[in-house]
């Protein structure tokens, strides 16, 4: 490599770019974005900021091509919180072939390699204009990717950097998350017959949703596996001596390609109708609007997938099209009509952990893969 992706990655890890929507004390993306602008300008690479929300801005670096097509490479700037680390999560530590630190694989490694690959092609005049973007807010609402999807003319394709161990991912699940509420009537627990217990009703809801999830798991889907539904949070009651008048749960419904959030909501609302029929004095309802990430598919037959597959095969011995259960910025980009492939160094098993690392050897292979795509597309 003409420039070390590792040294750039170490610098990026040192920025606390924890998503402030997940931790109000998180550093956010402003400082790391400003550094990338400086990095690019020092190398005479055009770089600009895209306003997204207040101080949160995407950073976009570009090298012009000879055609009217523009290919996007994107990795997110933000990370999840790091409060559970036993050492400083923002001080990179090398141990053999591993480099530790928050964001090491998710996804500062992809971003560092994309930027060094972009710098390496500055004088090579690719066919497509190449844009490398650092996006904000991937770990929460993906508002940065949504803003990238609105850019016109539309990108002809997008390579999304995520820790895939250099495998080419062409499909992943989406999700829809919302709250379900049961409401009853409060009473003193010495006379429970005077009240309507919202927690009792919610227990019926949870068991019915478990049966729905059992049914969902019997719907096999190529690449991504079956859909699922998880009850992930619950709250209810006011004190130990009062029949609870309200109970609420959060559900996480994972969508597979071809599914829509509206159908998923209809299935759950049918369950709630059954609970309401069994408890006429209790009201069970979905609290909307939901939070939605779209499932990703459709790029397998694209030129981008072909070019990426060849690059992965040549430099990493990978390239078999795969699907994954987690979400990425491709959710918003694919919904905007942009074909997406997901590929990057590191393993998803290390993402979000208190021992997050990336194998340094994968940085070199990722560099060759990204550079090859930039020049071959």
Residue 181 and residue 239 in one domain: yes
Residues 136 and 226 in one domain: no
Domain limit, last residue, from 272, 293, 314? 293
Residue 360 sits in a domain of what CATH number? 3.40.630.10
Using the predicted structure, report yes or no on whether residue 190 has a pLDDT greater than 50: yes
**Tens digits of per-residue pLDDT, 298-323?**
899 999 999 999 999 999 999 999 99
From its phi and psi, is residue 270 left (phi > 0), alpha (psi between -120 and 50) or beta?
alpha
- Tell me which residue of 114, 47, 102, 35 sits closest to 75, measured CA to CA: 114
pLDDT recorded at residue 3:
66
Confidence tier at 1 by pLDDT (50, 70, 90): very low
DSSP helix/strand/coil, 60: strand
Stretch 10-27: mean pLDDT: 98
pLDDT in tens, 69-108: 999 999 999 999 998 999 999 999 999 999 999 999 999 9
Of 167, 143, 164, 163, nearest to 50 by C-alpha is 143
Structural domain count, the chain: 2
Same domain, 178 and 156: no
d(CA 18, CA 29): 8
d(CA 188, CA 194) in angstroms, rounded, equals: 8
Across residues 117-132, what is the average pLDDT? 96
Q: Kindly give, in sequence order, each residue whose CB lies less than 8 Å from that of residue 11, ignoring residues fewer than 6 positions away.
A: 35
We report the CATH number of the domain holding residue 282 as 3.30.70.360
279: pLDDT confidence band, cut at 50, 70 and 90?
confident
Note whether 231 and 167 are within 8 A (CB): no
CA–CA gap between residue 234 and residue 196 (Å, rounded): 18
Residues 140 and 24 in one domain: yes
* 156 plus 41 within the same structural domain: yes
Per the prediction, the chain carries an average pLDDT of: 96
Cα(16)–Cα(89) distance, integer angstroms: 9
Tens-place pLDDT, residues 205-239: 999 999 999 999 999 899 999 999 999 999 999 99
Q: Are residues 239 and 321 in the same domain?
A: no
Per-residue pLDDT at 148 exceeds 70:
yes
Single pTM value for the model: 0.93
* Per-residue pLDDT tens over the stretch 162-174: 999 999 999 999 9
Tokens matching residue 335:
């919904």
List the 129-135 sheet strands across, edge first. 46-53, 56-63, 129-135, 70-76, 157-160, 340-342, 169-172, 322-324
**Interval 64-72 mean pLDDT:** 97
Same domain, 152 and 235: no
**Torsion, Cα of 60, 66, 67, 68 (10° steps):** 40
212 with 124, same domain: the answer is no
Q: Is the domain of 21 the same as that of 143?
A: yes
pLDDT above 70: percentage of residues in the chain: 99
Q: Identify which of 97, 151, 110 has the alpha carbon closest to the alpha carbon of residue 129.
A: 151
258: containing domain:
174-293
Do 195 and 187 meet the contact criterion of CB atoms below 8 Å apart? yes
Could you give the percent of the chain with pLDDT greater than 90?
A: 96
């Amino acid at each position: 490599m003409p420039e070390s992706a590792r040294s750039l990655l170490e610098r990026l890890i040192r920025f606390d770019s924890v998503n402030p929507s997940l931790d109000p004390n998180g550093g956010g993306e402003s400082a790391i974005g400003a550094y990338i602008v400086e990095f690019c300008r020092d190398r005479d690479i055009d770089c600009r900021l895209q306003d997204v929300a207040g101080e949160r801005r995407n950073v976009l670096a570009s090298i012009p091509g000879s055609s009217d097509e523009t290919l996007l490479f994107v990795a997110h700037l933000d990370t999840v919180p790091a409060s559970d680390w036993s050492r400083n999560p923002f001080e990179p530590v090398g141990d053999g072939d591993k480099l530790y630190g928050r964001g090491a694989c998710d996804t500062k490694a992809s971003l560092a390699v994309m930027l060094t690959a972009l710098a390496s092609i500055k004088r090579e005049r690719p066919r497509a204009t190449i844009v490398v973007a650092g996006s904000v807010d991937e770990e929460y609402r993906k508002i940065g990717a949504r803003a990238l999807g609105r850019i016109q003319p539309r990108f002809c394709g997008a390579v999304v950097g995520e820790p895939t161990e250099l495998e080419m991912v062409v499909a992943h699940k989406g999700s829809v998350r919302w709250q379900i509420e049961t409401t009853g009537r409060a009473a003193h627990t010495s006379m429970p017959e005077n009240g309507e217990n919202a927690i009792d009703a919610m227990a019926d809801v949870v068991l019915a949703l478990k049966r729905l999830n059992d049914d969902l798991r019997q719907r096999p889907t190529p690449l991504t596996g079956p859909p699922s539904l998880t009850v992930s949070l619950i709250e209810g009651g006011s004190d130990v001596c009062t029949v609870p008048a309200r109970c609420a749960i959060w559900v996480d419904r994972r969508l597979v390609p071809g599914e829509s959030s509206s159908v998923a909501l209809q299935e759950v609302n049918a369950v709630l109708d059954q609970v309401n029929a069994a408890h006429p004095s209790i009201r069970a309802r979905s609290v909307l609007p939901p939070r939605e990430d779209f499932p990703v598919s459709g790029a397998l037959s694209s030129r981008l997938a072909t070019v990426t597959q060849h690059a992965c095969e040549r430099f990493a011995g990978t390239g078999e099209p795969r699907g994954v259960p987690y979400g990425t910025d491709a959710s918003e980009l694919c919904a905007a009509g942009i074909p997406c492939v997901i590929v990057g160094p590191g393993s998803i098993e290390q993402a979000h952990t208190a021992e997050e690392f990336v194998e340094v050897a994968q940085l070199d292979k990722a560099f060759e893969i990204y550079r090859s795509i930039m020049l071959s597309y």
